Amino acid sequence: MLSRSFNIKKLIRIDAFCFSTATIQNEIDGHKAKIMARGLPKKKPIEGVKDIILVSSGKGGVGKSTTSVNLALALKHIDPSKHIGLLDSDIFGPSIPLMMNLNDFPQIDVNKMMEPLRNYGIKCMSMGFLIEPGAPVIWRGLMVMQALQKLMREVNWGEIDYLIVDTPPGTGDTLLSLIQNLPITGAILVTTPQVAALQVTRRGATMFEKLSIPVIGILENMSSISCPNCSTEIPLFGAGTQKLAKEINCRILEQIPLEYSISVQNDKGIPIVVSEPENPITFSYRSLAKKVVEFVENKANKI
């Protein structure tokens, strides 16, 4: 009898404990959800912008800006009726002003929104338009995020079918903020074939997967160099991209060679798609643009 009452008491205590831990757990979950809701802003489209395409890479200097610029121009070429925007979100090292030959300060409209600058039929916005040329940006986290907010929310894009976003290298705060704030249609991973670049590309792919951002595919840049004497293609930096593509279950969209004219035309502010319309590299960028359009249309059809 005694032991029975003891057991019942024990049971009641266990029950009460279970009840209280469940209640506490619920409270913790609710609290977590609140923190998440606070920490993760709700994704909000950019007014007037239909599809946002991120151009990203694990490493710096592999050709994100070159890809972004030529992709934007190729999208305009394959369908001139489309409105294309180019957003340079690299706060510390903006390249779009040089490559698109734009360097004015943007006009501010009556609603205090910045008007994008325009060249070759593409509307562009970059941190580079807002600072003195050559001036270093010595900012810390909060200021960077404020600048990014301006670029995301205080630009009067008008009507845009494809907004190409050139991102800073790596998986840092800027990229995460873009992903948390904007509905991204898809991302292109730019890499060169060196092992060091491929390793960080894998990391980028994993991050996109975790954050449910569809990867359109890999753009392999500086794939090979053409021998000036016999025109043999030499894979200067190795040939590991195919292996990576298999591993991360991703297709290689295009392979762009290391080519003097790409670099020279970038520096002149007349990207190769504009300056050399008959160059096979220009055809590759147009093919990339067609694949991006197909991806966007397929995605839209599935919804």
Binding site for ligand ATP (CB under 6 A): 57, 60-66, 90, 93, 95, 169, 221-222, 256, 258-259, 262-263, 266
CB of residue 207 vs ligand ATP: minimum separation in angstroms?
Answer: 17
Contact status, residue 100 vs residue 269, Cβ threshold 8 Å: yes
| Residue nearer to ligand ATP on the CB measure, 241 or 266 | 266
Is the Cβ of residue 84 or residue 161 nearer to ligand ATP in the bound state?
84
Tokens 């934007």 appear where?
72
Bridge partner residues of 166 (DSSP):
55, 88
CB of 285 to ligand ATP, least distance (A): 11
Looking at the Cβ atoms of 83 and 208, the one nearer to ligand ATP is 208
The CA distance from 222 to 17, in Å, is 63
Radius of gyration of the chain (CA): 24
Report in angstroms how near the CB of residue 63 gets to ligand ATP at its nearest. 4
Output 240-243 pairs: Cβ under 8 A, ≥24 positions apart: 240/193, 240/194, 240/195, 240/198, 241/191, 241/193, 241/198
C-alpha to C-alpha distance for 175 and 235, rounded to whole angstroms: 30
- What six digits make up the tokens of 206? 């994993």
Cβ at position 271, least distance to ligand ATP in Å: 9
Let me know: does 155 contact 113? Beta carbons within 8 Å.
yes
Q: Residue 162: what are its φ and ψ, rounded to 5°?
A: -130, 120
Min dist CB 79 to ligand ATP, Å, is 24
Q: Which is nearer to ligand ATP, 113 or 194 (CB)?
A: 194
If the CB atoms of residues 52 and 222 are measured against ligand ATP, the closer one turns out to be 222
Distance between CA atoms of 117 and 239, rounded to whole angstroms? 39
Q: How far is the CB of 70 from ligand ATP (least distance, A)?
A: 9
Nearer to ligand ATP, 181 or 223 (CB): 223
Nearer to ligand ATP, 83 or 84 (CB): 84
Give the count of beta carbons closer than 10 Å to the beta carbon of residue 106: 19
Is 99 within 8 Å of 128 (Cβ atoms)?
Answer: no
Q: How far is the CB of 170 from ligand ATP (least distance, A)?
A: 9
